Structures are given as structure tokens and as C-alpha cells.
């Protein structure tokens, strides 16, 4: 028997900016509006990061060598990428998403999954949330995005691509099975060119063809992803939207073998603690603007005191100065300390997007 469609309890939106880098360039230079624009690829052996929709009519695509694109469209205008500008928009759209939900899984600078099953704002339908997000993005960045709405990530992702640019496509659970059956095999997310060819060679052109295969046969032919295709073509995709966990603080602490009541001894122990603390920060390459000293007394009182700077604290001498000052100012005669800790927090936001490095020419 076929797997039934899982009871649709989730509302997932996939948002993807349209011709992202090219659209930012057209926004910031009105001379480029309505024209075929390629971002990158202007150098001798460079490839395009993307192209405006005007250029795509000529068959121009991401990752195409510049000379090839120029041959397809002699009027093509090449512009240099400005990653800072794209990053700025990326931060802005993520801020917009966070008005609606905290369950945001960015996939790259310009796209993300959102689980809006429990939306922070009062909306009944996910479709209206997607429309509101698109409106916010347009109003606040002057750029368009496309959105796909469904009950799982896989279908939402395919849906956002259906009506690009400026599209909004909803695939309801009831529609999912017939939608997937008629879907061309190369549209299945994760099916690359090579797999698509291999599948077509074996007579798999659509979702329906894929459905004719047993899980075992798919696994034998296509490995682990074979099993994934078996499930998704039946509308089964329970993968959660994984919110990026942003580290709020980083620290170390030590419980002493015996309580310490002597300030000099505590200072000595603090110096040792700083070694571990600094190693920890360096290993994570995270340096906050705030440092906190924590002490626990023999009678389990917890004392925490912080000091902040206007910049990330990373120098050993500064860390020592601050830590010692916090200790001296807060240690009182007669205290017996059983635990001491140091924490760094208030991190400056740093980019974790692999995309930047990946696509720089
Ligand atoms: P995409 O979302 O794949 O493409 P896009 O936003 O340009 O166009 P679409 O309307 O089809 O979504 O990628 C986002 C950005 O990432 C894109 O503008 C440029 C960059 N990029 C590269 O640098 N190299 C690549 O090979 C791809 C695919 C994208
Ligand atoms: Mg995009």
C-alpha cells in the first residue's frame, strides 16, 4: 500500500530572492534597469554569478563563462560583484523573516526556509504570511522575492521556483501527490544533471515514473538519495526547519578542590583560567565585547560581574586587566570561593555564509 500523505500539521515557506545579485545591481544603478546584466564574468576566464531576467531570455545562466554569455547576448552588460551590498540585503531579509518566526533556516544569502506553523503575527493562512513577507521585502529593499508554501521543505522549495520572478505558489497537502507525479524528474531538488540523465536512461522522466520503483531498487541504483527520492515522491518529508543556533556566550569555569579565601591565590588561579579561556575563544574564533567573571562561594552564593568595551576583547593583556579588576573589585575579605568562571559575550555578528567564499571568482 502507498504511504498516505502525512497529516499536514506544518506550514513551511521557502523564500528566494529573484536574480539576487543582478537585481541589487539594477536597483543601485538605474541605467541597468530593463537591460541584460551579468554579475561577474567580466574577466578573461571568469564565470557569471548570476544574470538579470532580461539576460536569461538569451539562455544566460549562473556559472556560465563570460565569453560564452557574451556570444549569446552581445549587448550583455558585465558588472563586478559587490558582496557587501548583497550581505546587507541578506541581513535585512533575515530581520524581516524574524518578525514572523524564529524558525528560520537560511540556505544561502538569498534564500531560507521558514516554519510559520506558529507565526508571531496573527495570520490564519501561510499564503498570507508569504505575501506579507514579500511585501515587506519589496518595501524595505526595493527587491522582489519568490515564495513557495507547503507542508514540507521539499515541496515549498520547488514551489518557490514555479512562478519566478515575483511568484507565490501554494501547494496544499491535497494537491501534493498529483503535483509530484507530474513533476519532471530534473525539478526534483537534489537530482542533479548527472542523476537526471541516469534516471531518464532508465525511463524515469516524471514523478510518476519514479513511483514505479521499489525502495530497494532505488537504493541500489542511486544509493542513499534513492531512499530519499522514494519518500519525497510520495510527499513524505519530515525534515524540520533547523534554525541557526546563534551562540550567545562562550566561557570556561573551574571548581576548586578546596575553597580559596586568599586573593593572591585566587589571582593565580585566575591566570590559569585565562589561558583556557583564551584558547577557547581562539578555537571558536569568537570574541565578545563583554567579559563576565563568575564566582561561587562556599555557601553557594553566585556572584557575576561584567565589563564591556566598544570592541571585541581579544588581547591577552586586556583580558587579564579586566578579569583581575573584576576579581579585586568583587572579592571581599572572608569569602571562600569554590568556583570561578570567565565568559565572553555580546559578539559582533559575523558572516557564516559559505556562499561568499564559494562564489568569489
Ligand atoms: P540563486 O537564488 O540560485 O539565483 P538568483 O537569485 O540569481 O536567481 P533566481 O531568480 O533564479 O533565484 O542564487 C542567489 C545568488 O547567489 C545569485 O544572485 C548569485 C549567487 N550565485 C553565484 O554566485 N553562483 C552560482 O552558481 C549561483 C547559482 C548563485
Ligand atoms: Mg535567488
194 — pLDDT class (breaks 50, 70, 90): confident
164 lines ligand 1 (CB under 6 A): yes
DSSP line for 118-164 = T-SS--S-HHHHHHHHHHHHHHHHS--EEEEEESSHHHHHHHHHHT-
pLDDT in tens, 85-95: 999 999 999 99
Query: For residue 191, what are the contacts with CB-CB under 8 A and spacing of at least 6?
Result: 185, 199, 229
State yes or no: pLDDT of 351 exceeds 70: no
How close is the Cα of 272 to the center of ligand 1, in Å?
Answer: 48
Q: Which residue has the cell 550567545?
A: 248
User: From the alpha carbon of 63, which atom of ligand 1 is closest?
Assistant: 26
Question: Which residues have C-beta within 8 Å of that of residue 325, sequence separation ≥ 6?
Answer: 307
Mean pLDDT, residues 133-159 taken together: 97
Cβ-based neighbours of 292, under 8 Å, separated by 6 or more:
249, 251, 304, 305, 306, 326, 341, 342, 343, 344, 345
Q: Taking the CB of residue 55, how many other CB atoms lie within 10 A of it?
A: 26
Q: Which sequence positions are flagged as catalytic?
A: 111
Q: Is the pLDDT confidence value at 8 over 70?
A: no
Looking at every residue in the chain, the average pLDDT score rounds to 91
Whether pTM > 0.75 for this model: the answer is: no
The pLDDT tens digits of the residues spanning 16-64 come to: 999 999 999 999 999 999 999 999 998 888 999 999 999 999 999 999 9
Q: What is the pLDDT of residue 361?
A: 28
Mean pLDDT value of segment 124-144: 98
Q: Bigger pLDDT: 205 or 247?
A: 205
Give the ligand whose atoms come closest to the C-alpha of residue 50.
1
Ligand 2 is an ion; its neighbours by CB within 5 Å are 16-17, 20, 110
Residue 51 CA: which ligand 1 atom is closest? 7
Question: By alpha-carbon position, which residue is closest to atom 8 of ligand 1?
Answer: 19
216-255 pLDDT, tens per residue? 999 999 888 888 999 999 999 999 999 877 778 899 999 9
- With bands split at pLDDT 50, 70 and 90, how would you rate the model's confidence at 347? confident
Buried/exposed code over 77-104 (b: 16+ C-beta within 10 A; e: otherwise):
bbbebebeebeebbeebeebbeebbebb
Name residue, grid cell 508571531.
120
> First and final CA of the chain: distance in angstroms?
51
Is the distance from the beta carbon of residue 359 to the nearest atom of ligand 1 less than 6 Å?
yes
- With bands split at pLDDT 50, 70 and 90, how would you rate the model's confidence at 4? low
- Domains of the chain by range and CATH? 12-18+84-173 (3.30.70.270), 20-82 (3.40.1170.60), 175-232 (1.10.150.20), 249-347 (3.30.1490.100)
Amino acid at each position: 500500500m502507498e504511504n498516505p500523505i502525512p497529516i499536514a500539521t506544518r506550514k513551511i515557506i521557502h523564500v528566494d530572492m529573484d536574480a539576487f545579485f543582478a537585481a541589487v545591481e539594477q536597483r543601485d544603478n538605474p541605467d541597468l534597469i530593463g537591460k541584460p546584466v551579468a554579475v561577474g564574468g567580466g574577466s578573461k576566464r571568469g564565470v557569471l554569478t548570476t544574470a538579470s531576467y532580461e539576460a536569461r531570455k538569451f539562455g544566460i545562466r549562473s556559472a556560465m563563462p563570460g565569453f560564452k554569455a557574451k556570444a549569446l547576448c552581445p549587448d550583455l552588460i558585465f558588472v563586478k560583484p559587490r558582496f557587501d551590498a548583497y550581505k546587507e540585503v541578506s541581513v535585512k531579509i533575515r530581520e524581516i523573516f524574524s518578525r514572523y518566526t524564529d524558525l528560520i533556516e537560511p540556505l544561502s544569502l538569498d534564500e531560507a526556509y521558514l516554519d510559520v506553523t506558529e507565526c508571531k503575527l496573527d495570520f490564519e493562512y501561510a499564503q498570507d504570511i508569504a505575501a506579507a513577507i514579500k511585501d515587506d521585502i519589496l518595501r524595505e529593499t526595493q527587491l522582489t522575492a519568490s515564495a513557495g508554501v507547503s507542508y514540507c521543505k521539499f515541496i515549498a522549495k520547488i514551489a518557490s521556483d514555479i512562478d519566478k520572478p515575483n511568484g507565490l505558489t501554494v501547494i496544499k497537502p491535497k494537491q501534493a501527490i498529483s503535483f509530484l507525479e507530474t513533476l519532471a524528474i530534473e525539478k526534483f531538488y537534489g537530482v542533479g544533471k548527472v542523476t537526471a540523465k541516469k534516471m531518464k536512461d532508465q525511463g524515469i522522466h516524471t514523478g510518476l515514473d519514479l513511483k514505479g520503483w521499489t525502495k530497494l531498487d532505488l537504493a541500489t541504483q542511486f544509493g542513499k538519495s534513492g531512499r530519499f527520492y522514494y519518500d519525497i515522491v510520495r510527499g513524505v518529508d519530515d525534515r524540520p526547519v533547523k534554525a541557526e543556533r546563534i551562540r550567545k556566550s562562550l566561557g570556561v569555569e573551574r571548581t576548586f578542590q578546596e575553597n580559596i579565601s586568599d586573593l593572591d591565590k585566587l589571582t593565580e588561579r585566575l591566570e590559569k583560567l585565562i589561558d583556557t579561556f583564551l584558547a577557547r575563544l581562539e578555537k571558536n574564533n569568537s570574541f565578545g565585547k563583554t567579559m563576565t567573571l563568575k564566582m561561587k562561594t562556599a555557601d553557594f552564593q553566585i556572584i557575576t560581574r561584567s565589563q564591556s568595551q566598544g570592541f571585541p576583547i581579544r588581547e591577552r593583556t586586556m583580558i587579564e586587566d579586566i578579569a583581575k579588576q573584576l576579581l579585586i573589585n568583587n572579592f571581599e575579605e572572608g569569602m571562600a570561593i569554590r568556583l570561578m568562571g570567565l565568559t565572553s559575550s555580546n559578539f559582533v555578528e559575523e558572516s557564516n555564509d559559505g556562499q561568499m567564499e564559494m562564489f568569489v571568482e
